[in-house]
Chains A and B, each alone.
Chain A
Amino acid sequence: MIAAAPMEETVKREFEELFREHFQFVYCTAYTVTGSSQDAEDVIQTVFMKLLQQHFLLRARDNPKPYLYRAAINASLNIIRSRKRLDLTSDFDRFDTLRGDGPFAPGDAAASSLVKAMSQLNPLAVEILVLRYEHNYSDAQIAKMLGKSRGTIAVTLYRARKRLKRLLQTELGDKL
């Protein structure tokens, strides 16, 4: 193996604990926004490496979850926006874990357009939507997590759904 000095053991242990505690939350968040396992894994690398690089950011030390969540949303949106020209519809087979209990089969145009439309929202709206629909948070929990008032969450959620609907109608027309 490479002949580099070993990481300081305590730092490594601390990092591993933090990683294992928050991995699933960050991964699921990234997967919901990007719709791709590969992209979700890239987001994991980005988010946690940044944390490691900056020796556990001061603001992330005490309460890492909100920091990691925001970083995951931003990194996911960056990935989606960086491949603007990629037609997600044609790549939709990658969405291998769509909810099985809903009316949308994998490959559904509405669902694929939804992911595309999400990337056009502002990051706060995406954060709120993912917390609500992927992680099943209530408005109060979302407000606490993001440090916003419940009113802000409710209004943002309302506007986000409205904008999404408009974007999807433009995309899908009568299908929605």
Chain B
Amino acid sequence: MRLGEFSKDADTPVPPLPDSPNGSPAYSGETRIGNREVMANSRFMQSVLAASDDCIKILSLEGKLLFMSEGGQRVMEVEDFDALRGCPWPDFWAGAGLAEAQASIAAAVAGRSSRFLAAANTAKGTPKFWDVKVSPIFGADGQPETILSVSRDITELKRSEDEQRLLAQELRHRVKNILMLVRVIANQTIRTDVPAETAREKFSARLMALAESQDRLTSTNGARAELHALLDAVSTTHGGGRLHFSGPKLELNSRCTLAMAMALHELATNAMKYGALSNENGHVEVTWRVVEVAEKGSQFHFTWTEDGGPPVQQPSSTGFGSRLIEKALAGYFLGAARIDYRPGGLFFELEAPMDALTREDT
């Protein structure tokens, strides 16, 4: 509204802004325009300053606060500017910001503009991140007279940038882990004593299990999975309705998710080939629980019990599956894993500190 009034009334050019680049005296036009225009001009400037969410300040050449815009007092959470008037502006900064603020004042005194990004708290102690531009305001003699400092609150922008960076880092980490796992699977599956066709099928099935586990990743950053979801995947692809599971709702970190998904794939594949899922009547019961153990804290206890399959024989050599389960899985869960080839059905158990399941890797 006021802007409209102003434009209608003003038939003289707008006086140069305080930081006009040619350094011309700031208000030299005032004497040539009438009182009405001066009033309108001042009202206009005030409303512009009040509307801006930037914290606009005028400082003395010593860096003391002379003026702070209304909008600036809002974002800086200043209730009474009079209490701050005359305080050294650099005192609002700490660490790197303090040095930047001091340097920017020195630059303005020398007639140069500068800009920096730094963190500072508001008057009420709310941490914020600012984009700050500091410029000299020249007097009639062409020398810096006062200093203009405009700080823009970029806290939200900074936060989302930080979040993006973290996500990208996490993603790189996960991709690296997965590629490492693919290499191990390739090395373990493609071997001189295994026919190429068999190796190809096994390799492909293992990669599919890995891909399946990635589909089950939930949570906001996509790095965790529900144990239920992993078992649901195995039960759907391998179980034929004869793999049952029960246990409390539980989330695994990315490494444990990968290791668990691979282990479940190996167990289920083995059960379909030789174990309880290889005939018509066998079934697999999977249970897990969290128990409090003295001096150990919360412990995760997981069991895989096969029943009703053909008689079990201890394998003559240890394949990738059993090594993966007994060594790698146990290692990733920082616990102990054991496969027991009981005559009535294969039994597997894993015990690990709860801590290891949820902690994000370094």
Interaction A to B: no
Instruction: List residues of B whose CB falls within 8 A of some A CB.
Output: none
